Amino acid sequence: MSGTYDIIIIGGGPAGLSAADSAVQNGAKKVLILERDREVGGILQQCVHNGFGLHHFKQELTGPGYAQRCYDMVKDRPEVEILVDTMVLEVRTDKTVVAVSPAKGRLELTAKTVILTMGCRERTRGAIRIPGTRPAGVYTAGAAQRMVNMEGYLPGKKIVILGSGDIGLIMARRMSLEGCKVQAVLEICPFSNGLTRNIVQCLNDYDIPLYLSHTIVAIHGRDRVSGITAAKVDEKMRPIPGTEFEIDCDTVLLSVGLIPENELSRGLGLTLHPKTSGPVVDQHRETSQPGIFAAGNVVHVHDLVDFVSDEAEIAGKYAALASLGQSPAVDRVIEVKPGAGINTCVPQHLRLGIEGENVRLFMRAAQPKRGVKLVITSGGETVLTKPLAVVKPSEMIAVDLPAAKTAALSGEISVAIDEGV
């Protein structure tokens, strides 16, 4: 472990591992993955359920199975070095990376390019300000998932879950399988924020009630959670007086959203997007700082790890080319703007050469809709349309812009949902 690396990758989850594999395939000779946990694989290691990999590996895998596949791709590559138990403290614009580990102490490493693959963190009770006492027994769903699936502890026996994000739904089933009673899942939105399949197989299968447009207005208990007060909310998500009811429980799990983990990105001075909370990137996943790339949940929270791997492979390829001084020439920059009905779109801009290139855009809809059309326009002209039977904020939309289309682009493009189909 010495000298300058072609690429240092911050985080050894699926994004980091996929980026490393792609970087080596594209010519990188010296790649280092820094991982703060005791092993690589990231959060997949605690996602013991199946449903991963159908797009990327064309095979249905469990989370640990997907992590294993990613690790197997890089573990025997002499070009890839992995340091676990290593926490990165700082990344500088000159691509110096400062890290610490119990085994190696303080490390100051240098690279030609850096790929940020730190993933995301869960929002906590503090982030949503639930009133009530402060007893033990309130966990984020992911923390509880790690306890149950990796450490071998049950966080409680009688559970209420706030938020219908996928981790919350998966945990509702997981706790049921372990003999716990899941009393209810409460969702403040009028629609679920998880994948439909998870409502079916995690809630309906176990007769767990889902209360839409409901939230927790108080948590009770002195030393340990003894129950919660739930209430219906109005269209502005304010609790409606008189609708309160009590639910008996000893544990509250929060599945109330994920936030890309960008402390290092902020330290680097990267431009972050206010809606995705991740770095603004081009189609190669290069950030506002040349030579600093980012991929996966650190850029925008995905619902499918398969798309994380796809995105990381792009970042790995172009970081490798940049480290070899072979970055493609840029002729023009095309901004990508979310239009009507679209909340976020990644990448936020395209840096194109004279010839076009195939670009995949990832969007999230602002509202659930049926029978709509995705319309991409530029300067009043329609570039591409795609009919969509159903759009949901919880399910990312992917659309491919072929090279022939991007070659012809000269100005800003806008991506919108057209309801008048």
Q: What is the DSSP secondary structure assignment for residue 57, as one 8-state letter? A: T
Q: Which of 390, 403, 407, 421 binds another protein (CB under 8 A)?
A: 390
Range 109-148, binding another protein (CB under 8 A): 148
Phi and psi for 49 in degrees, rounded to 5?
A: -75, 170
For another protein, which is the closer residue by CB, 371 or 411?
Answer: 371
Q: Indicate whether 395 belongs to the interface with another protein (CB under 8 A).
A: yes
Number of residues that bind another protein (CB under 8 A): 36
Nearest-approach distance from CB 37 to another protein, in angstroms: 11
Longest dimension (CA), the chain: 67
Q: Which of 89, 200, 330, 404 binds another protein (CB under 8 A)?
A: 200
Q: Indicate whether 197 belongs to the interface with another protein (CB under 8 A).
A: yes
Range 19-38, binding another protein (CB under 8 A): 38
Nearest-approach distance from CB 396 to another protein, in angstroms: 10
HSE, side-chain direction, 13 A CA sphere, residue 271: 11
Q: Tally Cβ neighbours within 10 Å of residue 382.
A: 10
Which tokens belong to 240? 């409606």
Range 64-103, binding another protein (CB under 8 A): 64-65, 67-68
Q: Distance between CA 163 and CA 198 in Å, rounded?
A: 13
3-state SS, residue 64 = helix
What DSSP element (H or E) covers 320? helix 305-323
Range 151-180, binding another protein (CB under 8 A): 151-152, 176-179
Pairing of strands 181-187, 210-212: parallel
Q: Which of 145, 149, 297, 378 binds another protein (CB under 8 A)?
A: 149
For another protein, which is the closer residue by CB, 93 or 201?
Answer: 201
Which tokens belong to 283? 């189609």
Nearest-approach distance from CB 178 to another protein, in angstroms: 7
What DSSP element (H or E) covers 346? strand 342-346
Q: Which of 138, 99, 120 is nearest to 43 (CA)?
A: 120
Which tokens belong to 192? 């679920």
For another protein, which is the closer residue by CB, 121 or 146?
Answer: 146
Q: Which of 96, 201, 229, 327 binds another protein (CB under 8 A)?
A: 201
Residues forming the site for another protein (CB under 8 A): 38-39, 45, 48-51, 54, 60, 62-65, 67-68, 148-152, 176-179, 195-197, 199-201, 205, 303-304, 389-390, 395
